Structure 1
Amino acid sequence: MATAPPAGAPAPDGRDVEKDVVLSSPNAVLADDSKVDSDDNSSNVLEGIKQVEAITSVWSKRALWTTFVLLWIVSFVSDLLSSVEGALSPYVTSAFARHGLLGVINIAARVIGGVVTLSLGKIIDIRGRMEGFIGSLFLITIGMIMKATCQNVETYAAAQVFTWVGKVALGFVVDVFVADITTLKNRSLIFALNSTPNLATTFAGPRIAQLFFEQVNFRWAFGAFAIILLGSSIPVIVILYYHERKARQMGLIRPKSGRTRLQSFVHYVIEFDLVGAILISGGFTLITLPFSLVSSSSHSWRSASIIIMIVFGVIGLAAFAVWEKYFSRVKFFPFEFLKDRTFLGSVLSHFFVFMTTFVWDAYYSSYLQVVHGLDITISNYVLNAYSLTSYVAGPFIALYIRWTGHVKYPALASAPIYLLGTALIVYFRVPSSPVGYLVMCQVLVGFGAGVLSQTGVLAAMASVRHQDVAVALAIYGLFGSVGSSVGYAIAGGMWTNILPAKLYEFLPEDSKHLTAEIYGDIQKQMAYDFGTPIRNAVIAAYGDVMRKMVIVGSALIPLVIATVFIWRNINVKKLESEEKKERGNVF
């Protein structure tokens, strides 16, 4: 039996090694952890992949670059929506006197969003990229309508799940489609260019949010952006539909299966492993939620509801493992991918970056407004310095990768910078610290995290065949989503358990009865002037809990560095061979 060349070396026969360095069978493991399987047999390629390959074979260069531009516009609007939402979230929860639930609301949304991408990866591989794109827009629209009309925090929490899942799905479909129409060497560059809208939305989003909040209300912000996003996405749907129809007329896409609706329903329930998806999402959610909800329970950790949630969460994850091993006809999670040390290291690094970040980032906007007196716009400028730096650095890192082909070296260089930036926050995140130092920390952390994420996703894709890229991106996104949900759970647990107690401790004796009222509403926290005993008590409580959050986040960062060390030294320039020829008109 012939073996594939080591990862990072060119294939002697000129084949696309991106497609060959990973196994579809867990039994073909080589000494250097490379994985092999032939991708050439079209019978092994799912219909959605055949469909996009047919589209790229019939469109022109003009259509290719038009699609890049249209996807950039969609990314711009989606990023602007995210920026506006993030700025308004503390005020939405405060409108229902539940500001403390800011972290809790995101836990379920993040877990479900990550799990859904695995199912979505299968959907767009089986059904097609356009169907996944349309489905994502549908979820975002439903979520935006619910947010615009919500009358309680429960509806807002449900809307956040719809919106977040839809946005994760939309970004995922865009990333997969970009991977479809680029070669491995150029992919990081296009990913970086597709992220450049954040250079504008970082500044525009908070300002737009403040204008909506002051001049209209948060509801109209959600309604307006639902319409704008739909309008910007229609051209993408049109161009994909046109070329899919053209490919079908040329006989490059096979006709529909001919199954009845019931047969199709049963087929997709099995194909998407719906049972596995429910078990894993429910398990993770039930385990992480109690950390944030425990403070509202009359019996704390001894509460029956808290204990039941944790027990059922553990049972759900155990049942998922049993189901996947013994009963599932189509595996929801391709565990064999994790046998490749580069892939495992990349997804774990993504998990720990998100976890360590969201431990201290979840309530950062509120901290800047309450403690430092910044308004919605300026506080989110400071907050977004993190993402702004990562997006500014992105194209330069992409050019370095395109020039040298090295992925691991920039990741190793950025990890200590990420640690330094987070550690400095421990020193500077105190009420007396100038805001400029906080911005400096955000820049350092943003650069480190941005490079780690950019190189990590490329390392993950370089470890699999092209037909497995969608699943690889889904797993990568799942680890990031679960990592952020764990970070939110830790942050929410610390916030809801420490802040009320510290508020009660620091408030004057004649104001201690206001603890719950002040804790639940950011506008009430800022209603008291600086220098007054109540505002000083609020600032002291914020400073205490925030310092502890950053210490926890910093202590976990060595795990990020350890996971990067296990990557193979992949050179993407050497992995690329005749990829453009095999996959049609791509960049």
Structure 2
Amino acid sequence: MRNPLAGRFTPAPVVEDVQEKAPGGREAEAGVIRDKGTNATYNNKNDSTDRVDDSDAISLDAQKGVQDIEAMTKVWTRNHLILAYVTIWCIFFIDALQSSMSGSLYVYVTSDFWAHSLTATTSVMSSLIGGLFKLPLAKVIDIWGRPQGFSLMLLCLVIGLIMMAACNGVETFAAAQVFYWLGYNGVTYTISVFIADTSSLKNRALMFAYASSPYLITTWCGGPLAQAFLDGPGWRWGYGTFAIVTPFVCSPLLYLFYVNYRKAEAAGLMTSTPSNRTTWESIKYYVIEFDVLGLFLITAGLALFLLSFNLYTFQTLRWKAPMIIAFIVVGGVLIILFAFYEKYFAPKTFIPYELLMDRTVLGACVLSAVLFVSFYIWDSYFPSLLQVVYGLSITHSSYIVNIYSMGSCFWSFVVGALIRSSGRFKWLALYFGVPVTTLGVGLMIHFRQPDVNIGYIIMCQIFIALSGGTLVICEQIAVMAATSHQYIAVVLAIESMFASVGGAIGSTIASAIWNGVFPVRLAEYLPAESKGDYATIYASIVTQMSFERGTPTRDAINQAYGDAQKYMLIAATVVQVISFVSVAVWRDIKVKDFKQVKGNVI
């Protein structure tokens, strides 16, 4: 979902006939933007961004990874382009299938280790690292190349799957989650950048919709597959199987990268300038270029600070526990040190603030964060709610959980077609996406209760799916439309970083509310004959479901679920208010007839 650019500039709002700076190193004069890298001009009147002239030459001032992909798109055939997109669909299908299956297995893995209430906690570190690492990854694929970044992330993904298959405790599982989500997010991110490299801006929303379309199929397969592994060889083989299948499915895309890289090299389109650096000088160069110290400070700081809200209920002294106090203090200090280091000392800043100065980029990133904060608050314990309170099987609960994925992926085709025909995207987000998302989440405050028909929950999920699919596509198009090709990887990384940090914050809020409300209400509602089983009921979803529906104990469990869900959904709805402001500040950029990429593209 997530390394900076050198140099500083501050893009101002679009104003006709006034000189200003524009994102990606463009100069604006008398209503016209000129890109320094390509010498192309853009019409800047009426807040639109129409290409007036363009050279199809490789961007000589871009970084090597960008030059390489531009060279490759010039030499590959249409058949290779088609084959690449077919392979991309297969990769997303396998990843979506594995992700859907894994989402159903999580609660059983944590319950296997008697730690069901840590379900949301296990995703905090993985969300943070998976998102924050995308900015260094953007630097990797811009400096070294798209294939190199893709291969590195594939390796992390496979390592994570192997670790999950072999884990013997919730701690090892959480560590495996870091590797898995680092690799999973990295693979999907590098492919998204590749799609941006090989598609025109007006068609890009449709191409992103195409890449996410496997969810329309995997929605119906993930739950039954998880059930089959649980009933058969066990959840460990669920992860182990995909550790074998995933590299096999990814190999054709790597082959296409290799073949066309060699073809471009033979055609003399690849440029290679020796660095003449010693080994130590290279290490120093990349440590600075990737802002390793800044990355460590922000990751460690956010992780420690957020984990304190997830783990305080497991301490006897709760908030007064020395470990919790240390997490909050040290985490807070590291976050402050990160801010000071980035402002005054960092040779290369971790976050490219010059891009964030553009209101469209910043607004889209804030929207991404808010959506993920809200989503992870209401979604973290949703599968458990469906199985415990409504008595659904893993298969049927997975269908409802995946309404969001299926609906948003289907609707993204409609959004892509509307963007292509109208040439605009802001109106879709402002007048449909944000209001309907807020409505869907708000309605669940009332409907996610034990005595309410599940059909109303399904209705809310459909609302959120259609509006969420609109917002995800629009925010990605917004960040890409606001800059030039050489910065596509970076702005997508920033947007994804905000999403991942938002997801970590959302998981933290969900965990804090759950651990603060559910055990208290459970102890209050349990009948006298079941109070002795309080600890095992709290710790395991299997134990919760072992009590017959309609019995006082099961009713008490269900009511405790309902109380916790109510507070979680109130928080998820309130945070959506920020979405209205974040979309309202976007520039109304026209993407039709905007030529941003070079070579043989879609």
Q: TM-score of the superposition, structure 2-length normalised?
A: 0.91
Which deviates more, 153-162 or 334-343?
A: 334-343
Is structure 2 residue 587 aligned with structure 1 residue 586?
A: no
> Among 283, 296, 301, which residue is 2:301 paired with?
283
**1:562/1:31 Cα in 2 relative to 1: closer, same or farther (>3 Å)?**
farther
Distance 1:552 1:231 in 2: 42
Which residue in 2 is equivalent to 1:147?
164
CA contact (8 A) 1:390 1:451 kept: yes
Which residue in 2 is equivalent to 1:12?
none
Is structure 2 residue 219 aligned with structure 1 residue 202?
A: yes
CA contact (8 A) 1:39 1:465 kept: no
Is structure 2 residue 324 aligned with structure 1 residue 323?
A: no
Secondary structure at 1:252's aligned position in 2? coil
Letter of the aligned partner of 1:22 in structure 2? P
> Among 113, 127, 132, which residue is 1:96 paired with?
113
Which residue in 2 is equivalent to 1:160?
177
Cα deviations across residues 339-360 of structure 1 (Å, max 9, x unaligned)? Answer: 1111111110111111111111
CA contact (8 A) 1:21 1:36 kept: no
Distance 1:149 1:250 in 2: 47
% identical aligned pairs: 39
Distance 2:175 2:108 in 1: 17
Which residue in 2 is equivalent to 1:389?
407
Which residue in 1 is equivalent to 2:591?
572
Which residue in 2 is equivalent to 1:85?
102
Distance 1:30 1:527 in 2: 71
Distance 1:530 1:472 in 2: 50
> Among 110, 133, 137, which residue is 2:127 paired with?
110
Distance 2:34 2:306 in 1: 37
Which residue in 2 is equivalent to 1:223?
240
> How many angstroms does 1:251 deviate by?
2.4
Which residue in 2 is equivalent to 1:22?
23
> How many angstroms does 1:24 deviate by?
4.0
Which residue in 1 is equivalent to 2:515?
496
Secondary structure at 2:402's aligned position in 1? helix
Letter of the aligned partner of 2:351 in structure 1? F
CA contact (8 A) 1:8 1:569 kept: no
Which residue in 2 is equivalent to 1:314?
332
Which residue in 2 is equivalent to 1:267?
285
Distance 1:448 1:404 in 2: 18
> How many angstroms does 1:216 deviate by?
1.6
Which residue in 2 is equivalent to 1:400?
418
Distance 1:265 1:197 in 2: 40
Distance 1:559 1:64 in 2: 40
Cα deviations across residues 184-229 of structure 1 (Å, max 9, x unaligned)? Answer: 1111110011110000011111111111111220000001011111
Q: TM-score of the superposition, structure 1-length normalised?
A: 0.93
Once the two structures are superposed, the pairs formed by residues 422-571 of structure 1 within 5 Å of their partners are 422-571=441-590
Which residue in 2 is equivalent to 1:411?
429
Which residue in 1 is equivalent to 2:208?
191
Distance 1:55 1:242 in 2: 9
> How many angstroms does 1:511 deviate by?
2.1
Letter of the aligned partner of 1:284 in structure 2? L
Q: Which has the higher helix share?
A: 1
> How many angstroms does 1:440 deviate by?
0.8
> How many angstroms does 1:43 deviate by?
4.8
Distance 1:519 1:240 in 2: 50
Letter of the aligned partner of 1:586 in structure 2? V
Unpaired runs of 5+ in structure 1? 10-19
> How many angstroms does 1:513 deviate by?
2.4
CA contact (8 A) 1:8 1:570 kept: no
Secondary structure at 1:325's aligned position in 2? helix
Which deviates more, 253-262 or 283-292?
A: 253-262
Is structure 2 residue 38 aligned with structure 1 residue 40?
A: yes
CA contact (8 A) 2:130 2:186 kept: yes
Is structure 2 residue 126 aligned with structure 1 residue 128?
A: no
CA contact (8 A) 1:21 1:465 kept: no
**1:106/1:35 Cα in 2 relative to 1: closer, same or farther (>3 Å)?**
farther
Is structure 2 residue 372 aligned with structure 1 residue 350?
A: no
Which deviates more, 415-424 or 95-104?
A: 415-424
Letter of the aligned partner of 1:425 in structure 2? M
Unpaired runs of 5+ in structure 2? 1-10, 40-58
CA contact (8 A) 1:8 1:572 kept: no
CA contact (8 A) 1:7 1:570 kept: no
> How many angstroms does 1:500 deviate by?
1.1
**1:532/1:165 Cα in 2 relative to 1: closer, same or farther (>3 Å)?**
same
Letter of the aligned partner of 1:379 in structure 2? S
Distance 1:361 1:31 in 2: 49
